[in-house]
Amino acid sequence: ELNKDDAMKNKKTYWGGDRTRPSYIFPRVTKKKLTIVLLENTKKSIEAKGIILKIIHRLVSTDLICVITYGDNVKVNKVEKVSTFSDKKLLDENNVTENACLYDALKILKKVVIIADKKELDEDFGIDKYKIDSIDVIGIGSGLDVGSKVKVEEAIECFEDVLSKKDVDTKYFCFSEDTFKEVASLGFRSIGAFPSKKV
């Protein structure tokens, strides 16, 4: 038998149910913002880890985060609440490389955005569902590609598909102002030097 206390009523929507019939419970769907951090997994990122974490810690704790790291290959971490995100998950320090397959990462980013845009997510160990209604893409790195299998033309096309979706905002923090032009050519709408006084 269900415990219909006030806390449960706030979480659930009830339908039906009396002494002869069971009650059915539907999870409340909560709208969330998803921040996708597109992070270069290189030595420069390791050196700037403290400042990168400051960016992440400024995100709203109840929103969702997904970190995509790229070095020799692309790794997509699980979507989770910002409040439960572990700093240890930020970089793969055992696999630091001089390569930065940014174009490969942009192709994977498109797939992640498509999935996030359509799917309702179940809360781990909870009773809510999340519907992502806006997405922020934050790129951090040199802005240069080294070692991708994907060609630059395909990467730009994939990123244009991401930009074409409503409620998607993109920005990129470059390690150096020297690569602003390269990042702009990919289509990022906002570009800044990293670290900056705004961080």
Measured between its terminal Cα atoms, the distance across the chain in Å is: 51
Residue of 123 and 86 predicted with greater confidence = 86
Element (H, E) at 126: none
> What confidence score (pLDDT) does residue 199 get?
39
- For residue 30, the model assigns a pLDDT of 85
| CA distance linking residue 108 with residue 36, whole number of Å | 12
Q: What is the pLDDT of residue 2?
A: 46
Distance CA(48)–CA(176), nearest Å, equals 12
Say what the pTM is. Answer: 0.82
What integer is the mean pLDDT of 46-72?
92
Q: Using an 8 Å Cβ cutoff, are 148 and 103 in contact?
A: yes
Spatial CB neighbours of 72, under 8 Å, sequence gap ≥ 6:
95, 97, 99, 101, 147
Query: Kindly report the CA angle at 44 between 43 and 50, in degrees rounded to 5?
Result: 105
pLDDT for 22 equals 60
Share of the chain above pLDDT 70, in %: 81
Per-residue pLDDT tens over the stretch 166-194:
899 999 999 989 999 999 999 999 999 87
Integer angstrom CA distances of residue 169 from 6, 19, 133, 189, 190: 37, 51, 12, 8, 9
